[in-house]
């Protein structure tokens, strides 16, 4: 019996993504590159070099710390620190507390912000866990900071690294009075608000023209470039994000000084970041 003719003369199913990708790759590999005319090629090369030069100059103003960069130093038994930004305005550090590690009672000379990156910690009588935000206001006193199971904290506004300032805060802790009550925002608390399509923010704290917030980006989202009337700190908590031509991954930090300009912020896979900067952060107005 004669076999009936095929109703699908095409050997590749156009709805099969694997076969379609294979065909596209084969076609692309068979294409011969066409070099541009000499004048056009020179112009393209000049523009690329200028873009690379401008990107290098811009990034040179920022303080950037990668996950595998920086030096961990012992602070007290069971606690080590890595300096991210030693600027006089507000120093930023990572603090790694081993199980059973303890920091002594101390008073805050400036606002100290804390984001729990891993584990959980006891701040006096308060327990904070991964994703929680905590701010101890200037003049307030913290009880012992410890962790039973281990914790990694991001701290902004600390005297760590400057012995006289550390001694000042330890001595002042002996004075009576706890000062202003701290503010804690749990990971599942707070309201998310739309900033631009695919991007939301959650305010953590705002006072005196400064604001700390979380910024959440969906895959493919973008935030327009924006200037910094005052310094801005950014710590990537999850995912990946591009700031201009520079890729940032989870655990990486950047400080942008006042007067600098951030290029467009984008993410291919989605991202979550902590940002401290001006209270009027509103790049959507520049779209």
Residue by residue, DSSP assigns 201-223 as: EEEEEEETTEEEEEEEE-TT-EE
Q: Is the pLDDT of residue 4 over 70?
A: no
Please give the mean pLDDT across all residues of the chain.
86
Q: Both 106 and 159 in a single domain?
A: yes
28 lies in a domain? no
Contacts of 256 (CB under 8 A, 6+ apart): 61, 62, 228, 231, 232, 233, 234, 262, 277
Q: How far apart are CA 117 and CA 155, in angstroms?
A: 10
Q: Residue 152 in contact with residue 119, Cβ under 8 Å? A: yes
Query: Of 77-81, 242-246, 248-252, which range is least confident?
Result: 242-246
Residues in the chain: 287
Give the chain's domain count. Answer: 2
Instruction: Classify burial at 123, counting beta carbons within 10 Å of its beta carbon; exposed 0-12, middle 13-18, buried 19 or more.
Output: buried
Q: Pick the closest to residue 98 from 129, 121, 131 (CA basis).
A: 121
Task: Report how far apart, in Å, the C-alpha atoms of 17 and of each of 12, 22, 211 are.
Answer: 10, 9, 46
Q: Both 197 and 274 in a single domain?
A: yes
Q: Both 167 and 200 in a single domain?
A: no
Task: Report how far apart, in Å, the C-alpha atoms of 120 and of each of 78, 92, 128, 184, 253 are.
Answer: 15, 19, 6, 14, 21
In this prediction, residue 30 carries a pLDDT of 74
In this prediction, residue 8 carries a pLDDT of 53
In this prediction, residue 286 carries a pLDDT of 41
94 lies in a domain? yes
Q: How far apart are CA 78 and CA 100, in angstroms?
A: 7
Write the pLDDT tens digit of every residue in 170-215: 888 888 898 999 999 999 999 999 999 999 999 999 998 999 999 9
61 lies in a domain? no
Last residue of a domain, one of 142, 160, 185: 185
Q: Is the pLDDT of residue 68 over 70?
A: yes
139 lies in a domain? yes
Q: Both 157 and 112 in a single domain?
A: yes
Last residue of a domain, one of 140, 159, 185: 185
Q: Both 180 and 212 in a single domain?
A: no
Q: How far apart are CA 116 and CA 189, in angstroms?
A: 14
Residue 39's SS3 state is helix
In this prediction, residue 162 carries a pLDDT of 87
Query: pTM of the full predicted structure?
Result: 0.79
Contacts of 194 (CB under 8 A, 6+ apart): 200
Q: Both 264 and 223 in a single domain?
A: yes
In this prediction, residue 13 carries a pLDDT of 63
17 lies in a domain? no
Of 70 and 8, the structure prediction assigns the larger pLDDT to 70
In this prediction, residue 193 carries a pLDDT of 96
In this prediction, residue 252 carries a pLDDT of 97
Give 6's pLDDT tier (boundaries 50, 70, 90). Answer: low
Last residue of a domain, one of 165, 185, 205: 185
Sign of CA dihedral 101, 139, 237, 216: positive
Q: Both 237 and 168 in a single domain?
A: no
Task: Report how far apart, in Å, the C-alpha atoms of 156 and of each of 70, 129, 135, 168, 184 are.
Answer: 16, 17, 9, 18, 15
In this prediction, residue 96 carries a pLDDT of 98
140 lies in a domain? yes
Max Cα-Cα span within the chain: 102
Write the pLDDT tens digit of every residue in 154-169: 999 998 888 888 888 8
248 lies in a domain? yes
Q: Is the pLDDT of residue 54 over 60?
A: no
In this prediction, residue 284 carries a pLDDT of 47
Q: Both 198 and 248 in a single domain?
A: yes
Q: How far apart are CA 109 and CA 140, in angstroms?
A: 8
Give 46's pLDDT tier (boundaries 50, 70, 90). Answer: low
Q: Both 200 and 250 in a single domain?
A: yes
Look up the domain containing 136 and give its range: 72-185
Q: Both 196 and 180 in a single domain?
A: no
**CATH number of the domain to which 132 belongs:** 2.60.120.10
45 lies in a domain? no
Q: Both 168 and 237 in a single domain?
A: no
């Amino acid at each position: 019996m004669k076999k009936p003719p095929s109703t699908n003369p095409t050997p590749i199913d156009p709805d099969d993504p694997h076969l379609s990708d294979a065909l596209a790759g084969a076609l692309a590999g068979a294409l011969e590159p066409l070099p541009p005319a000499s004048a056009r090629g020179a112009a393209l090369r000049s523009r690329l070099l200028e873009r690379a030069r401008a990107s290098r100059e811009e990034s040179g103003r920022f303080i950037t710390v990668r996950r595998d960069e920086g030096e961990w130093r012992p602070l007290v038994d069971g606690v080590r620190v890595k300096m991210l930004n030693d600027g006089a305005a507000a120093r930023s550090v990572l603090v790694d507390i081993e199980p059973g590690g303890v920091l002594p009672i101390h008073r805050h000379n400036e606002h100290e912000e804390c984001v729990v990156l891993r584990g959980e910690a006891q701040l006096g009588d308060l327990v904070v866990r991964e994703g929680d935000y905590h701010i101890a206001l200037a003049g307030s006193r913290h009880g012992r900071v410890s962790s039973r199971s281990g914790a990694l904290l991001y701290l902004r506004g600390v005297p760590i690294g400057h012995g006289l300032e550390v001694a000042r805060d330890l001595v002042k802790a002996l004075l009576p009075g706890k000062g202003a009550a701290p503010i804690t925002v749990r990971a599942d608390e707070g309201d998310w608000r739309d900033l631009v399509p695919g991007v939301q923010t959650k305010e953590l704290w705002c006072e005196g023209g400064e604001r700390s917030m979380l910024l959440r980006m969906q895959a493919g989202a973008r935030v327009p470039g924006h200037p910094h009337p005052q310094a801005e700190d950014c710590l990537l908590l999850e995912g990946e994000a591009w700031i201009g031509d520079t890729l940032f991954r989870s655990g990486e930090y950047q400080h942008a000084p006042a007067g600098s300009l951030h290029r467009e912020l984008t993410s291919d896979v989605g991202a979550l970041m902590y940002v401290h900067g001006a209270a009027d952060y509103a790049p959507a107005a520049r779209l």
